[in-house]
A = this chain, B = another copy of it.
């Protein structure tokens, strides 16, 4: 039995295109879909097992990336967007019709301030940068995955080239620690 990670990667991770210059994210509503323009390529695309990221029905992981807040523009039907949890670091704007999270800016003082979290599978266009790792893998247990399945899940992620981590990737963890060290005056 093959472990299902997410429909966008289960058949193999599809390489992005160097010429991708952005596109339009569209929610799942038939009527008055929310549309959000993203300028330029996305960064740090990854599979995420956390309980807060939006996932399509049946998916164990979300696929989520970032774009600078300045590159994100709500184009249509923005009146349908509402922040899921205003107390969270990521202000996830979800469509009140279909539930898809359309963009998630970090507004608080944080290493990720100024970035917005988006789900590239909602692009109308192809060519967005492929996911490069898997984050918060152990957290899928909190959504109901049986702990006995975890070896299979981590094995499948490695097979797909999505190195599994139970927090973020080492590069991003170092980036956050560096931000904290500078803020505290430990590093110049």
SS class, residues of chain A in contact with chain B: helix
Interface residues of A in 121-143 (CB under 8 A from B): 137-143
A34-42, A65-73, A97-105, A175-183 - interface stretch: A175-183
In contact, A154 and B170 (Cβ under 8 angstroms): yes
A186 at the interface (CB under 8 A from B): yes
How many copies of this kind of chain does the complex include? 2
A146 at the interface (CB under 8 A from B): yes
- Shortest Cβ distance from residue A144 to the other chain B in the assembled complex, whole angstroms: 5
Contact among B143, B147, B173 for A174, CB-based, below 8 A: B147
Contact among B142, B168, B176 for A186, CB-based, below 8 A: B142
In contact, B186 and A143 (Cβ under 8 angstroms): yes
Q: Which of A143, A166, A177, A184 neighbours the largest number of chain B CB atoms within 10 Å of its CB? A: A177
In contact, A147 and B178 (Cβ under 8 angstroms): yes
Residues from chain B with a CB closer than 8 A to the CB of A187 are: 141, 144, 146-147
A59 at the interface (CB under 8 A from B): no
In contact, B177 and A138 (Cβ under 8 angstroms): yes
Residues from chain B with a CB closer than 8 A to the CB of A44 are: none
> Which residue of the partner chain B has the closest CB to A164?
B170
12 contacts between A and B (CB under 8 A): A138-B173, A139-B177, A140-B177, A141-B177, A141-B187, A142-B177, A142-B180, A147-B174, A154-B170, A165-B166, A166-B167, A166-B170
